[in-house]
Structure 1
Amino acid sequence: MENRKVWDPVVRLTHWGVALGIVLNGAVIDDESKFHTRVGYTVLALVVLRLVWGLVGSRHARFADFPPNPSASMDQLSDMVSGRKRIHLGHTPLGALMIYNLWASILLIGLSGYMMTTTAFWGIEWVEEMHELFANWVYFSALLHVVAVILESRRTGVNLPRSMVTGVKSVPSEKV
């Protein structure tokens, strides 16, 4: 196994900060509290920071390293079905699609959450429904993400959760 530094501190901070904020707002904090709003804006700020970091950050943090690529995503699905183990140092193609899905959904949660605090949209049912719809979509997507990370870790032999904690991926030398 070869240890490769992949995830920089900004990637890891934004990843775990967003995850914590989503769990807090979804399962712990009362939706009507000011703390819910503060946590929501913090999550939004972390996503914006990550988007900026996608332009100026380290190699594997940059969008150029994980463009949304349906063809590569289909290849990854084919690998999974056939048992072929292709190691991706950065994000996998399917992981990239999930990341863009989560970021877009979180931005829409933030927009609808902000709209609910304005006099123009306060109490408007479709805004609240949009907020709830995207929140539920993020919970579902995050669950799917966690399951996929666990399955891919087992399938490829690369401990993906550990790499997002330490910043280092341990990968088979011949696969890099």
Structure 2
Amino acid sequence: MNNTKQILIWDPLLRIFHALLAVCFLAAYYVEDDMLKLHVLLGSIVFGLIIFRLFWGIFGTEHARFSDFIYSITQIKNHLLSLVFWKPSHHSGHTPAGGVMIFFLLAGLLILTISGIMLYGLENDVIPFAHRMADMNLDSIIFIEQLHSLIADTLILAVLLHIAGVLVESILQQQNLMKAMITGYKKVRSQHHER
């Protein structure tokens, strides 16, 4: 990459969030029902992290804000085409494809954790769900369980796609984007770069 400079893109809170989210989600998925208390604890941490990220997406630093990676359908399509032709468009923060993935993961994780909280509350008579157990039929509870499992499995596939996308972008941009998420620094064009 010619005429580039290293700049801080990912703030420390965003990097800590990213690491904690990855560890807690994958660990919760792995332990699942075998260690229910640990699964619930990890899921609760994920829920708290998502709430933090929603806050940080509005009030955080420039590249943490949702407004930094909301792209039009045309921009997303053009970015994906640039990848197909091995001529990626450059963005200092999230790419259009990355932005779509972030919104998908956040929405999926929010639904996953809320369904998990509901299940735990219903099955363990935890307030405010205890009184709802009598109102819900078995089919509704089974539906929530199946939804929870389906979303978890879908999110695992999305995480794998996210990692694959980061690897492809790293190769095409000739920089280690995984390292950039760890250090916070990314190479960007010094004269011009897309947002």
TM-score under structure 1 normalisation?
Answer: 0.93
1:164 pairs with 2:173:
no
Answer yes or no: is the 8 Å Cα contact 1:109–1:135 preserved in 2. Answer: yes
Q: Over residues 19-77 of structure 1, what are the superposed CA-to-partner deviations in whole Å (9 max), with x where a residue is unaligned?
A: 111110112x2425211001001011111101100111111111111115322110101
RMSD (Å) for aligned C-alpha atoms = 1.7
What CA distance in whole angstroms lies between the structure 1 residues aligned with 2:70 and 2:102?
10
Aligned match of 1:47:
50
- Structure 2: distance between partners of 1:59 and 1:12: 14
The question of 1:134 aligning with 2:117 is answered no
Alignment partners' CA distance in 2, 1:20 and 1:122: 35
- CA distance in structure 1 between the partners assigned to 2:118 and 2:188 by the alignment: 45
Figure out how many residues of one structure are paired with residues of the other and give that number: 175
* Maintained 8 Å contact 1:98/1:145: yes
Tell me the equivalent position of 1:113. 116
Q: Report the structure number with the largest CA radius of gyration.
A: 2
Where in structure 1 are there 5+ consecutive unaligned residues? none
SS at match of 1:117: helix
SS in structure 2 at match of 1:118: helix
Give the structure 2 partner of residue 3 of structure 1.
6
1:27-66 paired onto structure 2 within 5 Å? 27=30, 29-31=31-33, 32-66=35-69
Do residues 80 (structure 1) and 83 (structure 2) align?
yes
Identity of aligned residues (%): 33
Using the TM superposition, give the Cα deviation of residue 138 of structure 1 relative to its aligned residue in structure 2, in angstroms.
0.6
SS of residue paired to 1:88: coil
Q: Which runs of 4+ in 1 moved over 6 A?
A: none
8 Å CA contact 2:79–2:88 kept in 1: the answer is no
